[in-house]
Structure 1
Amino acid sequence: MLFQNGRLKVRKLEDKDKYLLTKWLSDPRVLEFYEGRDKPFDFDMVQKVFYASEDDVGKCMVEFNGEKIGYIQFYKLDNKTKEDYGYVTENIYGIDQFIGEVDYWNRGIGTLLVSSMVDFLTSEKNADRVVMDPQVRNIRAIRCYEKCCFKKVKLLPKKELHEGVYEDCWLIEYHR
């Protein structure tokens, strides 16, 4: 287990989790803001992206009240990304997440998840900043992140190809 905060638990991804990832990443409601409805994942794609890649991403399962409900990942920003974003030498982490079980949306769990991950990264990984780049149109997520003390830093025009259109994103950061 990576950490626990009350009824929320975050742990490293296990092989058995690939079935739920496949379910979540083929649900159009989840894909509307994560990856895109034009790119549903099948079992092989989940295997390739989440299990076969040799990267330095901390890939984690999110549980709430003992139920697996979502996914979160964290990674240290490389020098190129830091430069692109206008940072210099600080210890900066990025995070990405989604709640795959839609019955758990709009219940404050995303806020608990993001704030708990920020606490973990600042205390355990000594992160100076934590950043994300949500699409500008993802108003619900941005409100959640602002509740967790993230601030908009700059607009990233046409940053992400999503459903055939390059979407504007916000670079947002938590700075301790």
Structure 2
Amino acid sequence: MVRRLAEKDKHLLAKWLSTPEVLEFYEGRDNSFDVEKVERVFYSSDDDEVKCIIEYEGKSIGYIQYYELDEETKKEYGYESGRIFGTDQFIGEVDYWNRGIGTLLITSMTEFLFDRMNADKVVMDPQVWNERAIKCYEKCGFNKVKLLPKHELHEGELRDCWLIECR
């Protein structure tokens, strides 16, 4: 189940985003979060992301956000028109990794964005070295579209990412 982020979730986000295993793949191990940083980054009202908590069998286990791409990002990615949505996500409870939950999450979120939000495409930009995530996304119908060189700062280094999309 996916539900909207609530005030009570800030301590969970701080816990997950101070776990080295999670930070290795999301934000970077040199970019740990405390509650104050979580409040600044996740609870500011000046962004367009819809921020959510992932629950599995009644337990909060991760985070996902979705958003419609702005015109600048569409141009950067090579899109001229259409309703294009992006997502970012992580499973913060490491014990829930490698259990098929990511595949279930991405499949259901993609269906939601197409069916309820009238998306024409859904895109993500995983770092090229994150093969486990890319394999999950490909299993869910995403295809590599374009290499984005030096696209994301991660652990002090600009990393290449793949632009992947699902139609």
One-letter code aligned to 1:156: L
Partner in structure 2 of residue 82 of structure 1: 74
Say which SS state the counterpart of residue 54 (structure 2) adopts. strand
1:110-130 per-residue CA deviation (whole Å, 9 max, x = no partner) reads 000001000000001000000
RMSD: 0.5
Say which SS state the counterpart of residue 145 (structure 1) adopts. helix
Partner in structure 1 of residue 15 of structure 2: 23
Partner in structure 1 of residue 52 of structure 2: 60
Shift of 1:139: 0.3
Q: Pairwise mapping of residues 1-176 of structure 1 onto structure 2 (< 5 A)?
A: 9-175=1-167
One-letter code aligned to 1:90: G
Shift of 1:33: 1.1
Shift of 1:21: 0.3
1-side partners of 2:163 and 2:103: how far apart?
A: 18
Say which SS state the counterpart of residue 141 (structure 2) adopts. coil
Unaligned regions of 5+ residues in structure 2, if any?
none
Where does structure 1 differ by over 3 angstroms across 4 or more consecutive aligned residues? Answer: none
2-side partners of 1:74 and 1:166: how far apart?
A: 23
2-side partners of 1:164 and 1:54: how far apart?
A: 26
Percent identity over the alignment? 66
2-side partners of 1:41 and 1:68: how far apart?
A: 18
1:22-45 per-residue CA deviation (whole Å, 9 max, x = no partner) reads 000000000001000001001100
Partner in structure 2 of residue 3 of structure 1: none
TM-score (norm. length: structure 2): 0.99
Unaligned regions of 5+ residues in structure 1, if any?
1-8
Shift of 1:53: 3.6
2-side partners of 1:151 and 1:107: how far apart?
A: 22
